[in-house]
């Protein structure tokens, strides 16, 4: 319940600081382009997996929302994970990384999948040995990093690419910047309901979420094998507590929730209304809110299409 109260405190702060609880994504973002291009190559290269079959892009399809559209992703040898892969887009604006927040920032997150036995199943040291054996990678790293190929430089290059993965100019962003014709009347009505129903309490700020933890199952008990932060802290108060996900590009990242069991936006809206808000929501209201959520799909950054 303390976490739920935090939602109200956060929302209260938003009301004090400004009338609009959500801010548009910047059209341009800062990152080192040359390092980002190296990071992009690493992101798509299966060399980082033990048997050279799995790359980051296998779970984060940058042409389709930044996730893989599966309930659970598959790693090397067809090993299935146990949590729905989140989108990599706009992750630079999350206050922590992964559903349970175990990584403090992108750099701490970047190498995690490499050593995860369900994903790439390769130690970072083994990956570095393989990269150093590749003449093109040796030359590329040498141009950008005096120290060459190290744990820090590999992570740094991947981070620079992930920092570039921002999706601006969604219809809602254009609306926030003053283009009132950018959104349909239905989507505008949905945004009004999104605020009045209370969704905005947890999904606010530039990333429309991703800025604190919250318990899943406030008004109705939620159960599942994956217990969120409880697996890290073993504190009862952290059971079923997760990082609030961003809603950016949400229409493109089905299935939903940490367990990937929710297949449609409409179903997700109903579940969140029941479990998190304890409020009734009609089918018509769900349709309006879904229209608003569909207005959050932004533009794929140019670097994704560069060769």
Looking only at Cα atoms, what is the longest distance across the chain?
Answer: 61
Structure tokens at 229: 């932060």
80 catalytic per annotation: no
In a 13 Å sphere around the CA of 235, the CA atoms on its Cβ side amount to: 6
Alpha-carbon gap, residue 205 to 140, rounded angstroms:
37
Place of tokens 């999104």: 194
* Omega within 30 of 0 (cis) for the link into 255: yes
Alpha-carbon gap, residue 152 to 139, rounded angstroms:
17
Could you tell me the CA-to-CA distances from 26 to 42, 166, 172, 284 in Å, in that order?
26, 8, 13, 32
Question: Exposed/middle/buried for 207, CB within 10 Å: 0-12, 13-18, 19+?
Answer: buried
Question: Which three-class secondary structure state does DSSP give residue 243?
Answer: strand
Q: Which of 77, 80, 115, 119 is catalytic?
A: 119
Chain centroid, CA 255 distance in Å: 13
Q: Can you name the residues that pair with 44 across neighbouring β-strands?
A: none
The set of catalytic residues is 119
């Amino acid at each position: 319940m303390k976490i739920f109260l935090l939602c109200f405190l956060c929302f209260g702060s938003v009301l004090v600081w400004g009338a609009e609880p959500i801010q548009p994504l910047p059209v341009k973002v800062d990152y080192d382009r040359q390092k980002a291009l190296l990071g992009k190559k690493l992101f798509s290269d299966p060399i980082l997996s033990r048997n050279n079959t799995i790359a980051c892009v296998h779970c984060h399809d940058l042409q389709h929302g930044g996730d893989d559209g599966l309930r659970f992703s598959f790693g090397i040898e067809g090993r299935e994970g146990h949590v729905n892969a989140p989108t990599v887009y706009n992750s630079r604006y999350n206050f922590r990384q992964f559903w349970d927040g175990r990584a403090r920032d992108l750099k701490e997150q970047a190498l995690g999948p490499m050593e995860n036995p369900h994903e790439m199943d390769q130690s970072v040291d083994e990956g570095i040995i393989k990269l150093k054996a590749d003449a093109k990678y040796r030359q590329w790293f040498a141009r950008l990093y005096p120290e060459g190929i190290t744990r820090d430089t590999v992570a740094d290059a991947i981070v620079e690419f992930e920092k570039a993965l921002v999706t601006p100019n969604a219809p809602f962003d254009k609306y926030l910047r003053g283009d009132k014709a950018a959104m349909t009347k239905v989507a505008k009505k949905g945004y009004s309901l999104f605020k009045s129903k209370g969704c905005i309490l947890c999904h606010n700020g530039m990333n429309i979420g991703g800025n604190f933890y919250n318990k899943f199952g406030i008004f109705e008990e939620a159960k599942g094998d994956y217990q969120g932060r409880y697996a890290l802290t073993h504190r009862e108060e952290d059971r079923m507590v997760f990082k609030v996900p961003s809603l950016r590009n949400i229409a493109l990242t089905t299935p939903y929730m940490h367990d990937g069991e929710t297949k449609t936006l409409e179903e997700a809206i109903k579940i969140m209304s029941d479990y998190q808000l304890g409020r009734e929501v009609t089918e018509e209201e769900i349709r309006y809110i879904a229209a608003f959520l569909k207005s959050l799909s932004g533009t794929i950054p140019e670097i994704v299409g560069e060769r």
